[in-house]
Amino acid sequence: MDIIEGLKTRRSVRRFDPTKKIPHADIEKILEAASYAPSAHNYQPWHFVVIENAEKMAALRSVQPWTAFAKEASCVILVCADTEVSFHREKENEKWSYADIDGTLAAYGVLLAAHDLGHGACFCGAAPMPLVIDGLRKMFDLPENIRPVAIIPMGVPVEPSAPVTDRYQTQKVHWEKW
């Protein structure tokens, strides 16, 4: 699929055929492609937790309520970022990290690669919500330096996504100055 076509036709998919599984070869292909995302200083701080256990996928809603549809997914990719690996500063007067941004770029790669292979996926938020981060840490034994940034249920769509054509608004483009 052409990249521009993929960017424009990807949609969040929340209805999956619970009887169909995404092959592991496809999951690996998706995660390999996502790993080519840009990252600050090219530190590539992402990790992917692949969840296929139906009970665990259903339990996600207790931590992040807007993931209820994950119970019918083929798998969930929990995209995380290592705050010790990501480009960060921790000084008295300066504290920041690119972990969430790097992780989110990898997550977008997961969405686009899944779309290219004809699978459905949806970005569900994690960081920066503290309660969701804590809940996911407990549920999946994530170390303190590992920040979950996206919960991505993935599966075989039950229906094609309706096309969207009205997103580009020229008044949001500011040439040279606001």
Write the binding mask 54 to 93 for ligand FMN: x where contact by CB under 6 A, - elsewhere: ------------xx--------------------------
The number of beta carbons lying within 10 Å of the beta carbon of residue 42 is: 8
Pair 152, 73: CB distance under 8 Å: no
* Pick 67 or 74: Cβ nearer ligand FMN: 67
- Cα dihedral: 95, 98, 100, 103 (round 10): -160
> By CB under 6 A, is residue 125 in contact with ligand FMN?
yes
CA distance 106 to 35: 6
> By CB under 6 A, is residue 108 in contact with ligand FMN?
no
Stretch that binds ligand FMN, among 45-53, 72-80, 95-103, 123-131 (CB under 6 A): 123-131
Q: What SS3 class is residue 21?
A: coil
CA distance 52 to 105: 23
CA distance 171 to 122: 28
> By CB under 6 A, is residue 6 in contact with ligand FMN?
no
Half-sphere exposure of 157 toward its Cβ, with a 13 Å CA cutoff? 17
Least distance from ligand FMN to the Cβ atom of residue 70, Å: 9
Beta bridge partners of 124: 151
* Pick 38 or 143: Cβ nearer ligand FMN: 38
Q: Which of 124, 127, 132, 136 binds ligand FMN (CB under 6 A)?
A: 124
Stretch that binds ligand FMN, among 16-24, 53-61, 85-93, 121-129 (CB under 6 A): 121-129
CA distance 149 to 103: 6
Stretch that binds ligand FMN, among 22-30, 35-43, 51-59, 120-128 (CB under 6 A): 120-128
Chain contacts with ligand FMN (rule: CB under 6 A): 11-12, 14, 66-67, 122-125
